[in-house]
Amino acid sequence: MTGSNLFKPLRLPNGTVIPNRIAKAAMEENLANEAHAPGEALIKLYQRWAQGGAGLIITGNVMVDRHALTGPAGVVLEDDRNLAKFKLWADACRSHGAQAWMQINHPGRQLLASMGQPARGPSAVAVDIPGLSKAFVLPRALEEQEIEELIERYAQAAVLAERAGFTGVEIHAAHGYLFSQFLSPLTNRRDDRWGGSLENRAQILLKTIDAIRQRVAPIFCVAVKLNSADFQRGGFDAADAARVVEMLNTKAVDLVELSGGSYESPAMQGQTRDGSSLAREAYFLEFAEKIGEIARMPLMVTGGVRRKEVAERVVSGSVSMVGLATALAIEPALPRQWMAGRDVRVEPIVVRWKNKTLASLAVASVIKKQLGLLSQGKRTNPGTSPLMALIGNQLKARRQAKSYRQWIDQAR
């Protein structure tokens, strides 16, 4: 047992205790069953992570609206129809003593055209990725009543997560998804009470926290994933993030996870559109240390951590938890190995293609390949060809999107 903070328990504002400072951060698995619920593959994957020793397990994003998925084969939670499956998922996450939080999300304008659904966002601002813009649906601006309905959907998902046995939810307000779009002046051009000033742009997030808190037990955790910045000129920046954290200080928020970027500027993978460079590991630590001076709740940093000494450095100051994503996709037992004193490290997945967007997609495809292997009880193979992984993932996504469209049609 090491004397570092990494393996000390963390008590959250609501009294919940996380057994250590390592979290399995959210990744998009695209492993839902044909009913878009957690199936055998997803449950087996989370069993691997639970055995791996992380103190907190945060699920990949669970969608609050079946018509708005971040990608094919995503998990949807709108009602109690598949609650038995969600209970099995929560049991798997908690089977070795970890806290288990469900990340709840809506893509907003970041909706793939292949899904065959209309996109909605704060404003009618299209996703702009050179060479890939046609891959996304042009969104229309949400009406006020629809915003209120969305807040209700998040609250309903949280209530159902609690009933299933999860110990908390994390509201995704980062990575260019719906709440992140409301926070950014680039994507929120509204002139009503949901737009304009940062206070107005943050209303959907703040009202969602209130709606959830009113309907779950005090011991049920409510966390927020927030961008430290969008890394796009004129977008949501570090000063905005600090002001939003000050707003969150007035709410019953148990933890804020800091990340960064969006589909247009994938800083969560260490790449940005505005030309700023990110450190190779713990990308967002510098931002988090500054925000740590004002945050009244514990902070967590996710982004590129693969080595024990870096994880220890993250939690040595004002940051309470370190989130691992890619590292746990490759080596799910990393926390347990570190706890045993083994200095195991995970090598980064690097794709040096000229086209940064395709390179980013290839990295994501290699990671998804590892998740698929883990879900089948197999060993990971991070040395897999990025090109083959990308092609394989695109073909699989096409099949999954077709199956999703059929599911939506049947539901009608």
| Percent of the chain clearing pLDDT 70 (strictly above) | 93
pLDDT digits (tens, 9 = 90+) for 221-240: 999 999 886 666 777 888 89
Q: Looking at 273-277, 351-355, 357-361, which range is the least confident one? A: 273-277
Mean pLDDT of 116-125: 97
How buried is 315 (Cβ within 10 angstroms: 0-12 exposed, 13-18 middle, 19+ buried)? buried
Q: Looking at 78-92, 199-213, 306-320, which range is the least confident one? A: 306-320
Q: What CATH homologous superfamily does 5-350 map to? A: Aldolase class I (3.20.20.70)
Entry pTM: 0.94
Mean pLDDT of 352-375: 92
Q: What was the pLDDT predicted at 206?
A: 98
pLDDT digits (tens, 9 = 90+) for 4-17: 799 999 999 999 99
Return the domain boundaries, the chain: 5-350
Q: Three-state SS string across the chain, please?
A: CCCCHHHCCEECCCCCEECCCEEECCCCCCCCCCCCCCCHHHHHHHHHHHHHCCCEEECCCEECCCCCCCCCCCEECCCCCCHHHHHHHHHHHHCCCCEEEEEEECCCCCCEHHHCCCCEECCCCCCCCCCCHHHECCCEECCHHHHHHHHHHHHHHHHHHHHHCCCEEEEEECCCCHHHHHHCCCCCCCCCCCCCCHHHHCHHHHHHHHHHHCCCCCCCEEEEEEECCCCCCCCCCHHHHHHHHHHHCCCCCCEEEEECCCCCCCHHHCCCCCCCCCCCCCCCHHHHHHHCCCCCCCEEEECCCCCHHHHHHHCCCCCCEEEECHHHHHCCCHHHHHHCCCCCCCCCCCCCCCCHHHHHHHHHHHHHHHHHHHHCCCCCCCCCCHHHHHHHHHHHHHHHHHHHHHHHHHHC
Within 10 angstroms of residue 383's Cβ, the number of other Cβ atoms is: 8
Q: What was the pLDDT predicted at 236?
A: 81
Q: CA–CA separation, 248 vs 134, rounded Å?
A: 36
pLDDT digits (tens, 9 = 90+) for 276-325: 433 455 557 888 888 999 999 999 998 889 999 999 999 999 999 999 99
Q: What was the pLDDT predicted at 17?
A: 98
pLDDT digits (tens, 9 = 90+) for 146-204: 999 999 999 999 999 999 999 999 999 998 999 999 999 999 999 999 999 999 999 99
Q: Which has the higher per-residue pLDDT, 268 or 42?
A: 42
pLDDT digits (tens, 9 = 90+) for 386-399: 999 999 999 999 99
Q: What was the pLDDT predicted at 268?
A: 52
Average pLDDT of the chain? 92
- At 76, give phi and psi (nearest 5°): -120, 135
